[in-house]
Amino acid sequence: MKLLQQTILEKGTVLPNGVLKVNTFLNHQIDTGLMIEIGKEFAERFTDSNINKVITIESSGIAPSFFAAHTLDVPLIFARKKKSLTLKDNVYTSQVFSFTKQETSEITVAKEFLAENDRVLIIDDFLANGQAAQGLIDVVKQAGASVAGIGIVIEKTFQPGRQILEDKGYRVESLARVQSLQDGQITFLQEQISVTN
Amino acid sequence: MKLLQQTILEKGTVLPNGVLKVNTFLNHQIDTGLMIEIGKEFAERFTDSNINKVITIESSGIAPSFFAAHTLDVPLIFARKKKSLTLKDNVYTSQVFSFTKQETSEITVAKEFLAENDRVLIIDDFLANGQAAQGLIDVVKQAGASVAGIGIVIEKTFQPGRQILEDKGYRVESLARVQSLQDGQITFLQEQISVTN
């Protein structure tokens, strides 16, 4: 997605520890116009997948998934990272390890929001090692529902997340695929385009 | 806001501890269509307030503030509840006590996202004791910026939040004003409407 790649190049920064910082438009300050385009792009890519629910993880997943759910005309659910007082026993939970934060958090989804016949689109802001996506897959499967696909805003192709998910048979759609952050330079994967002619 | 009141009556539930549970449309599963109407309503109410930024708190504030920022054509910032690895020293922080969760959390906003001349609209999902709003006011003031107003999705008028904020001179706009949750019944404040004629 060109607009996203341009924004990452213009506004993203690479921290010394290799973290791609996108907090001016994605996960602290939000560019709502860009998020709407991102949401529409996800909806278009999965338009034929009979999706009836979109699921993400708080907080950074909410903005990019908002318009995907809206365009597909289905509810958006965000998994919570901690049990709340108003979420008691009737929840599915899974463990998600964050390499960035070096901590494990428990994600929680109320059972009432997932049903056996659901076809769920998982959306998240980053795909690196695939931990968050696998936590969401786990939750969807506990409900007996199926994962119709996984939409990612920014994929780090030099980390194993996509391979792990594809090996399990899931379709992964990433809107920006970062091949390298070496020496503070952001390089995108040059995707093969097959031209018929 | 009629659509919001209707949705609260239809889908909200009152827990035995007096908590109004709205997780089927606002803070766990999200009704994006309703959130868009909520955002537009905030934008309309503050359209003449020269707002150049909207600020909220993760996670439940993001969906209802998304379209407010988008309609006003200004950036949306969400305060984080914990310091992250990519947010180091250049942050404003404040303490927010949650009566529902009975815990204090630190909210954090990167300094780069607030400037002295900013006129900021604060949006949050609930107003009860005013703790979250005051934390956000504190952060805005640390930046030397001004608070142009406070937009609330659901206000509990039987708790002191509004009075505290109005006593400090802030304009508060709530889209649904709940007067009572006694006996599990949701009652809205009957607002005085002055009719000329």
* Residue A20, marked binder: yes
Q: What pLDDT is attached to residue A87?
A: 56
Cis peptide leading into residue B98 (ω within 30°): no
Q: Is the pLDDT of residue B139 over 80?
A: yes
* Residue A52, marked binder: no
By Cβ distance, the residue of A30, A58, A87 closest to B59 is: A58
Contact of B110 with chain A, judged by CB distance below 8 Å, is answered with: yes
* Best A32, A76, A124 residue to mutate vs chain B (most B CBs within 10 Å): A32
How do the pLDDT tens digits run along chain A, 197 residues long?
999 999 999 999 999 888 999 999 999 999 999 999 999 999 999 999 999 999 999 999 999 999 999 999 999 999 999 755 555 679 999 999 987 778 899 999 999 999 999 999 999 999 999 999 999 999 999 999 999 999 999 999 999 999 999 999 999 999 999 999 999 999 999 875 555 54
Mean pLDDT over residues B13-20, rounded? 90
The answer to whether the Cβ–Cβ distance between B30 and A110 falls below 8 Å is no
* Residues of B whose CB is below 8 A from A30: 62, 66, 69, 75-78
The whole-angstrom separation of Cα B63 and Cα A183 is 36
* Residues of B whose CB is below 8 A from A67: 32
What is the distance in angstroms between the Cα of B91 and the nearest Cα belonging to chain A?
12
The answer to whether the Cβ–Cβ distance between B69 and A30 falls below 8 Å is yes
DSSP state of A165: H
Contact of A24 with chain B, judged by CB distance below 8 Å, is answered with: yes
Please state, in angstroms and as integers, the Cα–Cα distance from residue B131 to each residue in B18, B103, B160, B171, following that order.
18, 12, 10, 16
Residue in chain A lying closest to B108 (CA): A28
- Name, in order, each residue with C-beta under 8 angstroms of A38's C-beta and a sequence gap of 6 or more: A1, A4, A64, A67, A68, A153, A175
Structural domains of chain B, with CATH: 2-78+114-188 (3.40.50.2020)
Which residues of B sit in the known binding site for xanthine? 20, 27, 156
* Residue A156, marked binder: yes
- A38-42, B101-105, B177-181: segment of lowest average pLDDT: B101-105
pLDDT in tens, B35-81: 999 999 999 999 999 999 999 999 999 999 999 999 999 999 999 99
The answer to whether the Cβ–Cβ distance between A28 and B78 falls below 8 Å is yes
Q: What pLDDT is attached to residue B100?
A: 75
Rg (Cα) of chain A, in Å, rounded? 16
CB burial of B133-144 (b: ≥16 within 10 Å; e: otherwise) equals bbbbbebbeebe
The whole-angstrom separation of Cα A67 and Cα A83 is 26
What is the distance in angstroms between the Cα of B31 and the nearest Cα belonging to chain A?
6
Query: Is A84 in contact with B98 (CB distance < 8 Å)?
Result: no
Residue in chain B lying closest to A112 (CA): B24
By Cβ distance, the residue of B59, B67, B86 closest to A21 is: B86
Residues constituting chain A:
197
From the list B38, B48, B40, B28, the residue with the least C-alpha distance to B6 is B38
Angle at B112 between CA B125 and CA A132, to 5 degrees: 60
* Best B26, B52, B59 residue to mutate vs chain A (most A CBs within 10 Å): B59
For B129, list phi and psi in degrees, rounded to 5: -100, -5
* Average pLDDT taken over every residue of chain B: 93
Burial class (CB in 10 A: 0-12, 13-18, 19+), B162: buried
The whole-angstrom separation of Cα A170 and Cα A93 is 21
* Residue whose entry in the numeric block shows the structure tokens 């439940």: B60
The whole-angstrom separation of Cα A146 and Cα B70 is 33
Q: What pLDDT is attached to residue B197?
A: 45
The answer to whether the Cβ–Cβ distance between A23 and B87 falls below 8 Å is yes
Mean pLDDT over residues B113-130, rounded? 97
